Amino acid sequence: MKADMKTKTMKDSMKKEYDFGKGKRGAVIPVPQGKTRVTIRLDDDVLEWFKAQVDAAGGGNYQTLINRALRQYIEQQSVSLEDTLRRVLREELRGAG
């Protein structure tokens, strides 16, 4: 019961100190078309690596870099092993001939 009274007293004092009655929501940055805002959990070392890459490049956005890495992975997965082997063999045969 005492904890409830203390909480009520704190809330009342905050109401007197801060009046958000005329408050407005801050600017909401719109998500560009073709993008989706997500929450993702990454290992600390993975995130630090991407941030370090951006820093080494002199700036940029680590999220864009992660997106590029994921896109590259997807594109590599769409190329079949057979196609890759054929390409490598053609290159090797051209080099040998």
- Structure pTM? 0.54
- pLDDT-based confidence at 88, cuts 50/70/90? very high
Residue 2: pLDDT band with limits 50, 70, 90: low
In a domain, 53, yes or no: yes
Cα-based distances in Å from 38 to 54, 63, 64: 21, 11, 13
Can you tell me the distance from the alpha carbon of 1 to that of 35, in angstroms, rounded to the nearest whole number?
Answer: 49
Q: Average pLDDT of the chain?
A: 86
Q: How confident is the model at residue 5 (pLDDT cuts 50, 70, 90)?
A: low
Angle at alpha carbon of residue 55, lines to 52 and 59, rounded to 5°: 140
Q: Is residue 70 part of a domain?
A: yes
pLDDT tens readout for residues 25-72: 887 888 889 999 899 999 999 999 999 999 999 999 999 999 999 999
Tally of domains in the chain: 1
Could you tell me if residue 78 is inside a domain?
Answer: yes
Residue 35 domain flag: no
